[in-house]
Amino acid sequence: MTAYRAVQGVKDILPEQSALWEHFEKIIKTTCGLFGYQRIETPIFEETGVYARGVGEGTDIVEKEMYTFKDRGDTSLTLEPEGTAGVVRAYIEHGMQMKPQPVKLFYVRTPIFRYERPQKGRLREHHQFGCEAIGESDPMLDAELISVIWSVYTRMGLTNLSIQLNSIGDKACKPGYMQKLIEYYTPLQDDLCADCKVRFTKNPLRLLDCKEERDQPKIAHAPKIAEYLCADCEEHFALLKQYLEEMHIPYTLNPLLVRGLDYYTRTVFELISEDIGGRQNAIGGGGRYDGLIELLGGKPTPAIGFGSGMERAIALLEQQKGTEIAEKQPEVYIIALNAMAKRKAAEFANTLREKDIKTLLGFGSRSLKAFMKAANASGAQWAVIIGEEEAQTNTVALRNLRAGADDDHKQVSLSVEEGLQTILRSVQQ
Ligand SMILES: [Zn+2]
Ligand SMILES: [Zn+2]
């Protein structure tokens, strides 16, 4: 029979990578905690409407990339294509607007599903962490949220990072700007690239996002949102920039940064790593979505959030810190040489683990030499050898695997209790 392979565009996270993932997750949880964010995990699928409405009809995600299916009850469900809409649905459903605002939430290692083109190296299932801060329009919250993603990656030791920042206005000024943009592009329509022709009718803001050479001069001369912000948006943006400076977060203004999703208002940002080449150099991004809660059936509520793809950051982390981050090695490897000894070994392993000592057991019947080879390969500091004599006299032979070859004390015979104490002492050092 042919063996199955993973579906195209998805990846296993193998044990060799799990130390990096654990390290990354720990930094995320610690950092979010420092900022007063609390963890939320929403289901990996929702009713399709949550995303169709929340992300926006006409977006690439909704039109081309969602995994949508009918379940056996004939309900249309969609696997989570981004992190925000599900959190907002939960905020509304659980009456979180009754809690002190803002409600600050984070999620970590959430699987995200999009029907991407795997030939471009993009995954159809990847994992994100992200933060959502709901119920407050104060620009200090925008600055604090940007500070969370900034802190996560700087605490991870990544370098060559920067924040790109823009404001895309609100419902008072965005429509006026969009009108100007459409007027500007109308006579240029026929000369646009194929993607931009679609953007022109469906999502004109994204015309500014085009990477095609032929459209760059058009983008360069297009009206920029900064000149059309209303007084409130302008003040909000000015204050945000001040707070970022107080928080020592370096940013660059990018008037072309618009983000792909419909629901963004005012602040939009991306965290860029110069260590990633090519077009996809953002390791995270987000923005304010003051209209989304209402769109999903809640009361009008301001909010801001970001999402960050974890695989891309893990690849960077591996590149920059791979060898420094390793799984904790075992302290003890127990070798039992007969049936009676195996019972003693099982008991001793149990005692050690109760004391938080990482312990491996040698399984099966092998020669002492074969077991010693496995013990050395495991990276353990101590081999505990229980042979026939040890089993009968309730002793253990303790061999220090990290001692030098000519060290006379590298193997000692001790009572089980003395063996335990010796191991505990060496671990506490
Ligand atoms: Zn174009
Ligand atoms: Zn405005």
* 15, pLDDT greater than 80: yes
Residues facing residue 362 across a β-bridge: none
SS3 293: helix
Please give the pLDDT value at position 62. 86
The pLDDT tens digits of the residues spanning 102-136 come to: 999 999 999 999 998 877 778 999 999 999 999 99
Q: Which of 429, 416, 313, 309 is nearest to 381 (CA)?
A: 429
Q: How far is the CA of 282 from the centre of ligand 2 (A)?
A: 26
Q: From residue 253, how far is each of 15, 205, 237, 280, 385 by CA, in Å?
A: 41, 17, 11, 18, 65
Q: How far is the CA of 223 from the centre of ligand 2 (A)?
A: 16
Neighbours of 5 (CB within 10 A): 6
Cα–Cα distance for residue pair 79/69, rounded to 1 Å: 9
The pLDDT tens digits of the residues spanning 252-276 come to: 999 989 876 667 899 999 999 887 7
Check: CB of residue 295 under 8 Å from CB of residue 53: yes
Q: From residue 102, how far is each of 97, 232, 257 by CA, in Å?
A: 9, 20, 26
Residues with CB under 5 A from ligand 1 (ion): 193, 196, 210, 212, 215
Q: How far is the CA of 239 from the centre of ligand 2 (A)?
A: 14
Ligand nearest, relative to CA of residue 288? 2
Please give the pLDDT value at position 368. 95
Q: How far is the CA of 105 from the centre of ligand 2 (A)?
A: 26
Q: How high is the mean pLDDT of the chain?
A: 92
Look up the pTM and report it.
0.90
Q: How far is the CA of 175 from the centre of ligand 1 (A)?
A: 22
Please give the pLDDT value at position 279. 60
Q: In what order do the strands lie in the sheet with 303-309?
A: 38-39, 103-113, 125-134, 303-309, 282-288, 265-273, 161-167, 251-253
Q: How far is the CA of 216 from the centre of ligand 1 (A)?
A: 8
Q: In what order do the strands lie in the sheet with 382-386?
A: 359-361, 332-336, 382-386, 395-400, 411-415
Q: How far is the CA of 132 from the centre of ligand 1 (A)?
A: 32
Please give the pLDDT value at position 276. 73
Ligand nearest, relative to CA of residue 176? 2
Q: How far is the CA of 382 from the centre of ligand 2 (A)?
A: 67
The pLDDT tens digits of the residues spanning 76-90 come to: 999 999 999 999 999
Q: From residue 271, how far is each of 140, 148, 285 by CA, in Å?
A: 18, 11, 6
Ligand nearest, relative to CA of residue 228? 2
Q: How far is the CA of 87 from the centre of ligand 2 (A)?
A: 26
Question: How do strand 303-309 and strand 125-134 relate by DSSP bridges?
Answer: antiparallel
Please give the pLDDT value at position 409. 64
Structure tokens at 415: 């009572």
Is pLDDT larger for residue 4 or for residue 273?
4
Per DSSP (E only), the strands in 20-160 are 38-39, 45-47, 68-70, 76-79, 103-113, 125-134
Q: How far is the CA of 8 from the centre of ligand 1 (A)?
A: 29
Is pLDDT larger for residue 377 or for residue 324?
377
Ligand nearest, relative to CA of residue 225? 2
pLDDT class for 317, splitting at 50, 70, 90? confident
Which residues touch 117 (CB under 8 Å, ≥6 apart)? none
Ligand nearest, relative to CA of residue 216? 1
DSSP secondary structure letters along 192-251: S-HHHHHHHHH-GGGGGG---GGGHHHHHHS--GGGG--HHHHHHHHHHHHHHHHTT--E
Ligand nearest, relative to CA of residue 204? 1
Cα–Cα distance for residue pair 319/340, rounded to 1 Å: 48
Q: How far is the CA of 426 from the centre of ligand 1 (A)?
A: 65
Please give the pLDDT value at position 315. 87
Neighbours of 401 (CB within 10 A): 16
Q: How far is the CA of 185 from the centre of ligand 1 (A)?
A: 11
pLDDT class for 209, splitting at 50, 70, 90? confident
Q: How far is the CA of 165 from the centre of ligand 2 (A)?
A: 16
Ligand nearest, relative to CA of residue 196? 1
Please give the pLDDT value at position 364. 95
Q: How far is the CA of 46 from the centre of ligand 2 (A)?
A: 32
* 402, pLDDT greater than 90: no
Ligand nearest, relative to CA of residue 185? 1
Query: Which domains are delineated in the chain?
Result: 15-173+229-321 (3.30.930.10), 332-424 (3.40.50.800)
* 358, pLDDT greater than 70: yes
The pLDDT tens digits of the residues spanning 60-74 come to: 888 889 999 999 999
Q: How far is the CA of 265 from the centre of ligand 2 (A)?
A: 9
